[in-house]
Structure formats: C-alpha cells, structure tokens
C-alpha cells in the first residue's frame, strides 16, 4: 500500500474528472461512457491474470455467500469495532456540519483528517459519555498508528474495480452514490477506484431524469439493474440472482434506511449546501453494517415479509421479561427491546410509540454487526427511519451474554446513567426469573420442527409448552408413522413460514432434511421471495391462494385477513395432502401461538 | 389542425427505432446510426437521445452480461423493449405508461411485434445488413424500412391510437400458427392436393401452404418460413383480410375500419417531416421508377382475379406487359428467392412458392405454372374446400365452455386459443392477473433457455386471484397451457381437476398428472 497522501491525491484527480463529466451535455456523457468502457476491456483481461496470480484467499467471513469462489479478500473484521465507533461519532459530525456550513474541500475526504476529526469531535461530546468516549479515543489512536490505510473502508476484494473480470462476475452488487456521481458505498471493490463506474451510473440515472422520467429497472439476460433515487442519494443493485424486481428494490430501500439509521435524513442538507459533498467520510467503517445487512437478504425472511420473529418461549417467561421492560418504559424510555440474535424476546414501547418491524431489523443488524457493542455497554445516536427519519434517538446497548442483548431507546442524549440503572434492574429481574437461561435453552431447542407437526389437529390440553410436548418420548412414534420419515415432515412438507398480519410477526419452521445446506436454504428463501412478490403484486392486487410447482418445490401460499402461510413441499407432493397439511400447520401455529408470538405488545396497537 | 395535434399525442405514446451500432461512431456522424424512427417527425435531437440511451445501456449491460445485452428498460413513465434483430442492428420500442389503465404490456409480447416486423421485412427485402452493404450510405435500407414498417404499424391503428398488444391479449401468442383440425379423410385429400400443387412446376423444390380461412391446413415449408408466410397471408391474403382490409389479430380492432381517414392523416403527418432524411418519395409510388420501393404490406392492394389467383400491383408491372409482376420472397431456411403465387377458392387459400432460379423466362414461365395448377388441381381444390367447409365448426369452433385458454406448442410453433370474442367476456382483473403470470413464466422460460441445461422446464402455477378467478399456467415438455376459470369453485383441487379434464380431452393428456 502506498502512503495515504499520494493515494488521496489520485482520488482527488478522479473526482475532478467526474466534475468535468457532469458539466458536459448528457449525450456526450453517455458517448464518453461508452468510450471509457470499451477502453477498459484490454486491461480487464490483464486483471484476470493478476487476480489468479495473487490468488491468496482469506475468506474468514461467512457473509460472502453470493460470491464466486475465486478472488481475494481483505479481512476487515479486526477493525470493525474501531470503524463502528467512528461511524457513530460521525453521526454527530453531520449535525456539526449543518451548523458549520459546507466543509472546506480539504477537510472532506482524507484519512489523516478524518481520523483526527473523529478524535477531536469525540472529545467535545457530553461528559456523560466519557467512559465510552475513552474507548473511542483509544481506538482512534490505535487506528492511526496500526493501520494507516484504515480510512479506506475495510472491505473484501478491495483490489477489484470495474475492469476486473472477477468483480464483473460477482452475483450481486450494491452501490450507493451521490447525485453528483461520487461513490459512497460499494459492496465489492474500492469506492475510489470505482468513481468512473459510479459516474456512469449517475449519467444513466440523470439522463433519464432529464427526460422527465425516472429509471427503475434494466434487464439484460440474467442480470437486473435496479435503481432507487432518494433525493441526493442514488442506490443501485446489479444482480443475477433471479430475485424479483420488487425484492431487489425493497433491499435498496433497506440499505438506504440503514444509512439513515446511522446518519438521519438531515444528511441531505449537506448536499443542498454542497452538491459535490463527499459522504464516504460519514460512513467510514460502517461497511460491516451494510455487508451484514446485505447478507441478511439471503437468509432472513423478515427482509421481504416486513415482520419480525420471536424466540419461542413459555408464555410466563416472556411475560416476566415484558413486565420489567414495561416498568422501565414507564420511566421515560421510548422503546425497550430484549433480543436474542435477530429474534425478539420481548419488547415494549412508551404510550403511542410504535416500532416498525423494518426499523427493528435495521437496529438489530446495526447492533449485531458491530463488534464493539459486544465488548462494552454503549450509548449511540441512531435514527429509526420509519419512526422519524429526521431525528436521532439514543440507543443504550448492552449484551447480557453472547447472544442476548438489551436495547433501550430514548430521545434524551443525557440519559446514559439512567439507562444504565434500568439495565441493572432489568438484569436482576431476568436472572431471578430465569429468563436468560430459558432463552439459552430455547436457542438450543430451536422453534417449530416440521417433524413434530401433530397428526390430529386437536390442541393438546394441559400442557405448558406445546413445542416441547411433541418432543416427549410418547409422541415420537407418532412422528415416524408417516411414510415420509427422513424427507421432511408429513406429506412431503419441507418448511413453512406463518405470518400473523395483525401482530406484524412471523414464525418460520426450523430447517430440516432435505433443506440442510445454507445453499439450499438460500434457494428456498429466494423461492419464497418470488412467491411473496407474486402474491402481493401492486398492480393486480393481492392474490388469495397460490400453488406453484417447479423441479425444486411445491410451494403453497394462502393469504387471509389474519395470516399468510407459505409452505414448501417435495416437488412430487400430492396436492390434496399438501392442502390438508397446510391446514394442520395453521392449526398447530394457533395452538402454540402463546409461545411463538409476542402477544398483546402495546407498541402495535396504533 | 385538430388532427395534427392528435398526431402529436399519438406519437408521444409510442416510439420505435432501428439503429446500427456499427455506424456513426464518429462525432458529428451520429445520425448515420438511425435507420428508422417512428414518429419520424420527432426532432433529431430527441431521436438521438432515445438511441443514445439505448446504446449506452447496451454497452453498460455488456459489462456484466456480455452474452445478453439490454432487453428492457423500465422507467416510471416509459418502457423500452429491445430486440437485436441482426448482429449490431437493434430495434427498440418505447411505450408510454399513461394513466390509462389499458396501457399495461408484457415485454415478450412487445418483443414479438418487433421480431415479427423484422422477419417479414427480411422475407421480402432480405436482411438489413445486406441492404446496408449494397448501399453503404444507408439510403436504400432507410427507404425500405420506412415504408415497410409504416405499413405494418398501420395495422395497429385504432382510431387515433396505435394499440399494441396489451394485457387484454394475454391469451394469444404472436409468432405462432393456428391450425385447422381436420379428420383423417380430409387429411388424405389435402395430402394429395399438396403433391399435385408442387408437381405443377415440374420440380420438387417447390413449397406450398394451404389455409382455410385464417387457419393453417398444410405446409411444406420450414417452421420459420411457415410462420412468416402464414402471418403475411392472414394480414393480407385470406378472404377475411381481403374483405376487411384490416388484419384480424385483435378483436379490439373489429368494427373500427371506418376510421381510415384519421389513420392516414396521423401517419402521413409524421411522414412529411423527414422525407429528406428517409428519402421516402413514395407519395407517388407508381410514378417514380427510380425510387420505387416495393411495399408488400401496403393496404388494399391485393384483390382476387377472375382466374382465382390473387393479384396486386405492389411489385409493379412488367415492362411491355399489361400483367402485374409476380411477388417474390426470400426463404429464410434455404436463402432462395421464390415466386409467390396465391390462389383462392372461397375459404381456401393456396400459396405456391416456386424458385425464381428454375423459371427461365420470368413472368411467362410463372403463368405457365399457374395455368398448370388450374388444369391439374382445380377439381381437387373444389373437393378439399367443400370437405373442410363441411367439417368447419364456425368462429367458435375451438371454444370450450367454462374455459378461457391458450395452448402453445413451442416445438411446432403452433397455438390455439379461445375465440377472441369469448376472451373479451373475461373480467379485467382476470386478464391482468393472467398477463402477470405470463410475465413470470416468460422470465422462467428465458432463464431455462439461457442455462441451456433446463430447456425442458416443468412449471405449474395455480392462482386464486383477488376477484376469485383461477389463473393457471402449465409448462411441460415445451408445451404451454394458460387458462382462466371464472365463476369456479374455490378449492384448489377443483381448479386442478378442471385442468386435468381439459388436458385429457384436448391435449392428449400432455398436462395431466399421472
């Protein structure tokens, strides 16, 4: 790596070129775009050679499922904590910028300055946060000394750009750029090297905008290019994953909202003051938040169902957790959320405040993807885009154990010590009522297993936990009565998702044979995604039932006023039996709804 | 004045252009790329901007998808559908999504329009590339494309609007042939008629096509050539085409023939503007022999002669002879130039294609062949017509009560559908849902095609739509079945049973589950 000084100058040159580009008439722009594209061809083939020669692969991160096998990877994990903290600090910088007017050109994009500015601005923040800030400052120092290139957002395949064949072959690209064509984020490759490509995307978008229209989608063979314009922020996805347009667009919305969660919408004002504002600095170090969100698009059904899911727990256990959270909420906390990984244990909100499932997903992703939250209690400004995209809330985050964490949200920036007290009280109650150990047990047991689908649909009386009951020895022979043992549940049932409409919650069965590998699971989610998009077409209106069979699955979807059921069967499954099985699944879910859903949660009574 | 403003509105709604990526690569020569643009009256700057965007996105998408460049651009107000008709020769159709809820299209249906007009063009004029090579200035290609496509588009005019196939046409398949079902006995008769016809030129390299009304009875051509000639026949030659002067593909158009006045003025308006560019001096097509462009799709140009042969002056008259010149077409498969002789007896239309190369003395030779046909086959033609007419069930012959369906055999390029009048009784929501499902199936089919491996996709969609109609699609072994059942029972099993019954009765069980 060359020293940061020289590389930043070259970055500067690129940017100047971009500005020249934008001043040309659009026709010329597009023409020149073509020229540059064809010019890069020869160098692209060189890149391949290099790519293979360099071929050292350090793919420590499981987030990389979409990628082709070859390619280098730059491991950013050890810097995650640092970056995250900086991301949080920069959240504040935004507001500073608003006060101070547009940043001078020299302070807008370079490592040294950014490093120091985060340090100094950090010092200016309320004393309340000192204990957190100390950590931050230490990190900033480390960062400057240990990793001089840390200002380049840590990411995999950093050496790639649009001329590399490996980059072009990645299955799913995501880009954020500014309306002047400056790159803000790219899932793969170095943003600065991609400034030419970014200018191309900008040229396409503004060419169509200048014609009084807005580009949404370009289809080419297996590839789709999806565009989303959010004021001065442009988002683009280039994908060959066969996901429907509606899903990809939804994912871009999520990425935009994740950005808002870190910065709030007031970032728009920076662009109003200076259209060529360079935003990469504000998001530096948050790569891991975005990559983890992008990863969740391929495994987390919440991303297309727009609902959240709960950790299965005995009703009384969840009640106990809810009661203490409610206590806390009454003392001036806006939302109190207890989560285990991406599942909700319990949550309550202050009166009239409601939390959108998408906000929960983004918040959980932000917390879980940031290593630093695990190591200490943190107090961070965050924005819930569906709640109020303009304002910061303050999140107190604390991990009780490796999986279970508490998020307390407040509007007050000096509530740290109050929230810390709340956390101590909550922890005591949780320990006393064994909630934390129950949570661990539930993690081990898992949720609904299709093999346990009751044969007779009558509710089992006198049981505190239906989920557990079916794992009792007396019940197990029942399971094997079905001739389908070993290939999923009865009637060839492989998996299901049940979404309760009025609860905004869903429950997804545990994966079992033959959907074993992550690849198969991802494929099934994509099939569900397609089915979801097809069922909820905006133009035609929602369908009521859908049966769909291809060489991989039989999929059944049933939408009523109260719930939506998505079920996957063996492709050879019998229709009549499959329908019967779906009815049984619905009954089963109703029987155990006390354990799998959070009932009577106040935030959702609008 | 009123008409020209209407023209402006109409021309906003649809644009169609053809451009050659190999031309006009230098600054200042961009106009060279444009081979066709509708509406021609659009300022060149706007034409270039449509083509610039298209070209930009073709280049851009090739970064990621070198094997298949841009197919569709979807914007909030417009949709651009791409078709690479010949290497580097692109056709792009831009349709406007108006507030008009009728303006909902399926990409593949629009692309098939582009494909159809190109295939027909090539059949009559040869490839665009060949024309460009013949006359590198592009004048020749432009003139031919202009008159050909304008004549073609005229078929889509309803009142003041160009009506392209929309969701309402979702139970139809362009680019396929509709067959008449005939009994064994009739089939034998037809067989011997075909043999008789093709022997009249004394050479086995003749081809024939026989239609009964707008349905195909027999063909000896390759599948692609069959589609082209069948399409042309239905557009211009069959009794129905001759009598109405309007093609029969869309029921929307029926009874709208009275609007020709407005029609002409709309297309004429856009024509006058850029005559110089397209060199279309065809305002006096018969007079100017220098610039004479044959316009095979020109309306009201075919008629039935006294001898039963269909005649037209489209191909001009032979010098020193009163007779009209015989039309010629290029066969796609053999790249052979053929004389096209069409004979009509009541509902029966016979098309005989004779290689130009074997007729030594031009028109004279053709009339000898024609005479031969009359002498040898007249009786047989009468007999076959009679037989087919007897067995013909009328306009609703292929209606199956309770069902609205489209059946496509992709391997044979044959389709059969519920009669248009019956499809028109369907609820709009049902048609919209079906159009959507077809779009999904199109995507899956295209994927399978690209993957190569999964050419034989097996798919089943069975949807209970908002309006309680069942919308069903089945794809199996290259065959497709689309079906809408309204007023049907609500259970999925009922819908499946209905498909099963239909499949067993009308598709030889092709879609039945064992």
Residue B280 pLDDT more than 50?
Answer: no
Q: Which of A31, A218, A242 sits opposite B73 (nearest CB)?
A: A218
Contacts of A222 in chain B (CB under 8 A): 65, 68, 447, 450
B436·A539 Cβ contact <8 A? yes
Q: Which residues of A touch B496 (CB under 8 A)?
A: 547, 575
User: What are residue A120's phi and psi, to 5 degrees?
Assistant: -70, -40
Beta strand A545-549 with A393-399 is unpaired
Interface A-B: count of C-beta contacts within 8 A: 160
Q: CA-CA distances (angstroms) from residue A191 to A73, A183, A390?
A: 15, 6, 27
> Mind listing the pLDDT tens digit for each residue in B66-106?
999 999 999 999 999 999 999 999 999 999 987 777 888 99
Of residues B393, B340, B322, the one with CA closest to residue B225: B340
Nearest to B145 by CA among B130, B174, B163, B125: B125
Q: How close is the nearest chain B Cα to the Cα of A271, in Å?
A: 25
From chain A, the residues in CB contact with B33 under 8 A are: none
List Cβ neighbours of B119 (8 Å cut-off, separation of 6 or more). B224, B227, B228, B231, B332
**Residue A411 backbone phi and psi in degrees, to 5:** -90, -10
Nearest to A187 by CA among A199, A171, A165, A203: A171
Distance CA(A232)–CA(A282), nearest Å, equals: 15
CB spacing of A220 vs B461 below 8 angstroms: no
CA distance between the termini of chain A: 54
- Is the Cβ–Cβ distance between B303 and B310 less than 8 Å? yes
Distance from B427 to chain A by nearest Cα, in Å? Answer: 12
Contact B53 A550 (CB under 8 A): no
User: Do the beta carbons of residue B156 and residue B163 sit within 8 Å?
Assistant: yes
Global ipTM: 0.90
Q: Does B108 contact A at CB distance below 8 Å?
A: no
Instruction: Name the residue with higher pLDDT: B348 or A602.
Output: B348
Q: Which two tokens stand for residue B297?
A: 């799709």
Residue B143 · residue B152 · CB < 8 Å: no
Spell out which residues of chain A touch residue B65, defining contact as CB-CB under 8 Å: 220-223, 240
How far is residue A241 from each of residues A222, B45, B106, B383, measured CA to CA in Å?
Answer: 8, 37, 22, 59
What tens digit of pLDDT does each residue of B111-168 get?
A: 999 999 999 999 999 999 999 999 999 999 999 999 999 999 999 988 888 889 999 9
Q: What is the DSSP letter of B309?
A: B
Q: Are A496 and A585 in contact (CB under 8 A)?
A: yes
Distance from CA of B335 to the nearest CA of A (A): 30
Written in H, E and C, the secondary structure of A187-241 is CCCCCCCCHHHHHHHHHHHHHHHHCCCCEEEEEECCEEEEEEEECCEEEEEEECC
Task: Give me the percent of chain B exceeding a pLDDT of 90.
Answer: 67
Strands A554-559 vs A545-549: parallel, antiparallel or unpaired: antiparallel
The C-alpha of A265 sits at a distance from chain B's nearest C-alpha, in angstroms, of: 24
Greater model confidence, A491 or B107: B107
Helix (H, G, I), strand (E, B) or coil at B464: strand
Q: Which of B21, B65, B94, B102 is the best residue to mutate to test the A interface, defined by the most A CB atoms within 10 Å of its own CB?
A: B65
The pLDDT of residue A360: 96
- Answer whether B63 touches A (CB < 8 Å): yes
Token pair, residue B108, equals: 């593949």
pLDDT (0 to 100) of residue B316 = 81
**B251 near A CB under 8 A:** no
Distance CA A217, CA A203 (A): 15
List chain A residues with CB under 8 Å of B454: 551
Q: Do A551 and B458 touch (CB under 8 A)?
A: yes
Show the domains of chain A with their CATH numbers.
4-296 (3.30.450.70), 308-357+364-444 (3.30.450.30), 450-596 (3.30.450.190)
Contact check, Cβ <8 Å, B77/A213 = yes
Interface of A with B in 555-584 (CB under 8 A): 575-576, 579
What angle (nearest 5°) sits at the alpha carbon of residue B483, between those of residues B480 and B487? 170
Chain B residue with minimal CA distance to A533?
B440
Residues in chain A: 606
CA distance B34 to A40: 27
Query: Residue A452: which residues within 8 A CB-CB, separation 6 or more?
Result: A467, A470, A471, A475, A479
Question: Please, what are the domains in chain B?
Answer: 2-169 (3.30.450.70), 184-245+300-391 (3.30.450), 404-506 (3.30.450)
Closest CB to A34 among B59, B72, B436:
B59
| Residue count of chain B | 514
Determine phi and psi for A143, rounding to 5 degrees: -60, -45
> Closest chain B residue to A170 measured between Cα atoms?
B64
Q: Which of B53, B78, B465 is opposite residue A543, by nearest beta carbon?
A: B465
The DSSP call for residue B490 is S
Best B463, B470, B472 residue to mutate vs chain A (most A CBs within 10 Å): B463
Q: Looking at CA atoms only, how far is residue A560 from chain B in angstroms?
A: 11
B499: CB partners within 8 A, 6+ apart: B462, B472, B474, B481, B483, B511
> CB of B44 within 8 Å of any CB in chain A?
no
Specify the DSSP element, H or E, that contains A175.
strand A172-178
User: Mean per-residue pLDDT for B54-66?
Assistant: 95
- Note whether A212 contacts B444, CB cutoff 8 Å: no
CA of B230: how far to CAs of A170, A291, A446, B174, B210, in Å? 45, 55, 63, 11, 9
List of long-range contacts for B471-477, beta carbons under 8 Å, 24+ apart: B471/B430, B471/B433, B471/B434, B471/B437, B472/B499, B473/B437, B473/B438, B473/B440, B473/B441, B474/B499, B474/B503, B474/B511, B475/B441, B475/B444, B475/B445, B476/B510, B476/B511, B477/B510
**Cβ of A25 under 8 Å from any chain B Cβ?**
no
pLDDT in tens, B198-230: 888 776 689 999 999 999 999 999 999 999 999
Inform me whether the pLDDT recorded for B327 exceeds 90: yes
Give the 3-state secondary structure of residue B354. Answer: strand
Q: Which two tokens stand for residue B272?
A: 């006058």
Q: How far is B131 from chain A (nearest CA, A)?
A: 27
Residue of B nearest to A163 (CA): B63
Distance from the B433 Cα atom to the nearest Cα atom in chain A, whole angstroms: 6
Whether B74 and chain A come into contact, CB under 8 Å, resolves to yes
Of A437, A544, A563, A560, residue with least CA distance to A500: A563
Q: What is residue B268's predicted lDDT score, i.e. its pLDDT?
A: 52
Q: Does B488 touch chain A (CB under 8 A)?
A: no
Q: Measured between CB atoms, does A539 come within 8 Å of chain B?
A: yes
Asked if B458 and A31 come within 8 Å (Cβ–Cβ), the reply is no
| Cβ within 8 Å, pair B49-A546 | no
Using a CB-CB cut-off of 8 Å, the residues of chain A touching B464 are 543-546
B432 near A CB under 8 A: yes
In Å, how far is A550's CA from the nearest CA of chain B? 5
Cβ A275 vs Cβ A253: under 8 Å = no
Q: Which residues of chain A have pLDDT under 70?
A: 1-156, 456-487, 601-606
Q: Residue A167's closest chain B neighbor by CA?
A: B64
> Residue A284 burial (CB < 10 Å; 0-12/13-18/19+)?
buried
CA distance B109 to B170: 8
Nearest CB neighbour to B466, from listed A38, A541, A575: A541
- Asked whether the CA dihedral B164, B169, B173, B179 is positive or negative, the reply is negative
* pLDDT at res. A447: 92
Q: Do B458 and A550 touch (CB under 8 A)?
A: yes
Q: How far B241 CA lies from chain A's nearest CA (Å)?
A: 36
- Determine contact: B272 vs chain A, CB below 8 A: no
To the nearest whole Å, the CA of A240 is away from the closest chain B CA by 9
Measured in degrees and rounded to the nearest 5, phi and psi for residue A475 equal: -85, -20
pLDDT score recorded for residue B103? 83
Q: Is B59 on the interface with A (CB under 8 A)?
A: yes
Measured distance CA(A62)–CA(A118) in Å, rounded: 30
Q: Cβ of B69 and A579 within 8 Å?
A: no
Q: How many helices (H) and strands (E) does chain A have?
A: 22, 16
pLDDT digits (tens, 9 = 90+) for A541-553: 899 999 999 999 9
**Which residue from B438, B430, B425 is spatially nearest to A540, judged by alpha carbons?**
B430
Token couple for B57: 């996105």
Q: Do B48 and A27 count as a contact with CB atoms less than 8 A apart?
A: yes
Summarised one tens digit per residue, pLDDT across range B398-429 is 999 999 999 999 888 999 999 999 999 999 99
Cβ-in-10-Å burial (0-12, 13-18, 19+) of B393 comes to exposed
Q: pLDDT of B18-35, one tens digit each?
A: 999 999 988 889 999 999
For residue A5, give the nearest of A90, A83, A113 by alpha carbon: A113
């Amino acid at each position: 790596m060359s020293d940061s000084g020289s590389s930043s100058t070259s970055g500067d040159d690129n940017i100047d070129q971009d500005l020249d580009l934008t001043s040309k008439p659009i026709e010329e722009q597009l023409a020149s775009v073509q020229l540059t594209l064809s010019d890069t061809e020869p160098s692209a083939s060189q890149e391949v050679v290099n790519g293979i020669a360099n071929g050292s692969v350090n793919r420590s991160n499981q987030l990389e499922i979409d990628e082709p096998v070859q390619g280098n990877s730059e491991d950013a994990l050890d810097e995650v904590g640092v970056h995250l903290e900086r991301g949080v600090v920069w959240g504040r910088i935004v507001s500073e910028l608003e006060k101070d007017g547009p940043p001078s050109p020299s302070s807008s994009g370079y490592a040294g300055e950014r490093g120091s500015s985060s340090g100094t601005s950090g010092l200016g923040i309320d004393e309340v946060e000192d204990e957190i800030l100390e950590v931050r400052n230490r990190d900033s120092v480390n960062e400057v000394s240990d990793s001089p290139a840390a200002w380049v957002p840590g990411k995999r395949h950093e050496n790639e750009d649009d001329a590399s064949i490996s980059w072009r072959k990645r299955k799913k690209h995501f880009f954020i750029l500014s309306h002047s064509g400056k790159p803000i984020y790219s899932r793969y490759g170095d943003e600065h090297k991609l400034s030419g490509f970014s200018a191309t995307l900008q040229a396409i978008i503004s060419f169509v905008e200048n014609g009084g229209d807005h580009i949404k989608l370009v289809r080419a063979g297996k590839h789709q290019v999806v565009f989303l314009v959010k004021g001065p922020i442009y988002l683009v996805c280039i994908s060959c994953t066969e996901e429907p347009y509606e899903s990809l667009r939804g994912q871009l919305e999520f990425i935009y909202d994740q950005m808002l969660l870190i910065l709030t919408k007031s970032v728009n004002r920076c662009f109003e003051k200076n259209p060529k504002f360079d935003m990469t600095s504000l998001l530096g170090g948050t790569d891991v938040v975005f990559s983890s969100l992008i990863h969740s698009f391929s495994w987390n059904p919440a991303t297309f169902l727009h609902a959240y899911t709960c950790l299965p727990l005995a009703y009384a256990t969840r009640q106990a957790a809810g009661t203490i959270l409610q206590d806390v909420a009454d003392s001036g906390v806006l939302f109190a959320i207890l989560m285990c990984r991406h599942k909700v244990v319990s949550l309550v909100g202050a009166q009239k405040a409601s939390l959108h499932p998408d906000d929960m997903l983004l918040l959980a992703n932000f917390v879980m993807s940031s290593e630093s939250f695990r190591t200490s209690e943190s107090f961070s400004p965050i924005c819930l885009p569906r709640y109020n995209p303009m304002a910061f809330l303050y999140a107190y985050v604390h991990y009780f154990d490796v999986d279970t964490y508490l998020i307390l949200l407040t509007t007050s920036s000096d509530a740290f010590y109050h929230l810390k007290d709340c956390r101590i009280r909550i922890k005591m109650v949780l320990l006393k009522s064994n909630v934390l150990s129950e949570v661990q047990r539930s993690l081990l047991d898992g949720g609904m297993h299709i093999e346990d689908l009751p044969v007779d649909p009558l509710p089992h009386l006198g049981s505190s936990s239906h989920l557990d009951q079916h794992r009792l020895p007396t019940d197990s022979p029942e399971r094997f009565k079905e001739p389908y043992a070993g290939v999923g549940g009865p009637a060839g049932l492989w998996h299901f998702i049940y979404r309760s409409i009025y609860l905004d919650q869903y429950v997804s069965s545990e994966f079992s044979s033959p959907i074993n590998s992550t690849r198969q699971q991802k494929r099934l989610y994509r099939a569900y995604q397609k089915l979801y998009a097809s069922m909820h077409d905006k133009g035609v209106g929602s369908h009521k039932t859908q049966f769909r069979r291809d060489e991989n699955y039989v999929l059944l979807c049933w939408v009523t006023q109260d719930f939506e059921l998505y079920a996957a069967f063996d492709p050879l499954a019998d229709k009549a039996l499959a329908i019967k099985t779906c009815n049984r699944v619905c009954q089963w879910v109703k029987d155990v709804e006390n354990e799998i859903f959070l009932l009577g949660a106040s935030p959702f009574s609008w | 004045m009123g008409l020209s403003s209407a023209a402006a509105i109409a021309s906003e709604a649809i644009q169609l252009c053809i451009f050659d990526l190999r031309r006009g690569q230098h600054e200042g020569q961009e106009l060279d790329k444009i081979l066709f643009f509708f509406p021609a009256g659009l300022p060149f700057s706007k034409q270039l901007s449509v083509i610039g965007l298209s070209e930009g996105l073709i280049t851009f998408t090739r970064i990621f998808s070198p094997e298949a460049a841009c197919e569709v651009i979807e914007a909030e107000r417009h949709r651009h559908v791409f078709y690479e008709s010949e290497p580097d020769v692109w056709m792009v159709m831009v349709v406007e999504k108006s507030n008009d809820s009728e303006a909902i299209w399926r990409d593949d249906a629009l692309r098939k329009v582009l494909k159809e007009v190109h295939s027909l063009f090539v059949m009559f004029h040869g490839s665009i590339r060949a024309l460009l090579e013949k006359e590198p200035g592009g004048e020749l290609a432009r003139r031919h494309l202009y008159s050909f496509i304008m004549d073609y588009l005229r078929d889509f005019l309803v009142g003041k609007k160009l009506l392209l196939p929309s969701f309402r046409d979702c139970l139809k398949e362009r680019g396929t042939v509709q067959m008449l079902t005939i009994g064994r006995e009739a089939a034998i008769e037809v067989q011997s008629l075909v043999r008789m016809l093709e022997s009249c030129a004394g050479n086995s390299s003749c081809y024939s096509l026989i239609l009964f009304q707008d349905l195909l009875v027999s063909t000896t051509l390759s599948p692609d050539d069959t589609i082209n000639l069948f399409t042309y026949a239905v557009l211009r030659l069959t009794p129905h085409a001759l009598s109405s002067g309007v093609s029969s593909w869309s029921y929307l158009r029926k009874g709208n023939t009275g609007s020709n006045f407005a029609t002409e003025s709309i297309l004429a308006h856009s024509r006058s503007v850029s005559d110089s560019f397209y060199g279309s001096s065809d305002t006096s097509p018969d007079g100017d022999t220098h610039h004479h462009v044959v316009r095979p799709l020109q309306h009201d140009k075919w008629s039935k002669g006294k001898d039963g042969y269909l005649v037209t002056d489209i191909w001009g008259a032979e010098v020193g002879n009163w007779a009209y010149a015989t039309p010629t077409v290029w066969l796609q498969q053999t790249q052979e130039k053929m004389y096209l002789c069409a004979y009509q007896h009541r509902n029966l239309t016979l098309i005989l294609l004779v290689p130009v190369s074997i007729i030594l003395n031009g028109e004279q030779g053709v009339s000898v062949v024609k005479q031969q046909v009359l002498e040898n086959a007249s009786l047989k033609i009468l007999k076959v017509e009679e037989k087919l007419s007897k067995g013909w069930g009328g306009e609703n012959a292929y209606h199956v009560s309770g069902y609205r369906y489209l059946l496509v055999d992709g391997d044979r390029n044959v389709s059969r559908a519920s009669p248009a009048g019956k499809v028109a009784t369907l609820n709009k929501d049902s048609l919209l849902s079906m159009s959507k499902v077809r779009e999904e199936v199109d995507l899956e089919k295209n994927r399978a095609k690209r993957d190569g491996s999964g050419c034989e996709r097996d798919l089943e969609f069975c949807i209970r739509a908002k309006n309680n109609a069942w919308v069903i699609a089945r794809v199996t072994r290259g065959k497709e079945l689309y079906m809408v059942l309204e007023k049907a029972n609500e259970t999925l099993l009922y819908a499946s049973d209905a498909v099963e019954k239909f499949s067993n009765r009308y598709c030889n069980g092709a879609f039945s589950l064992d």
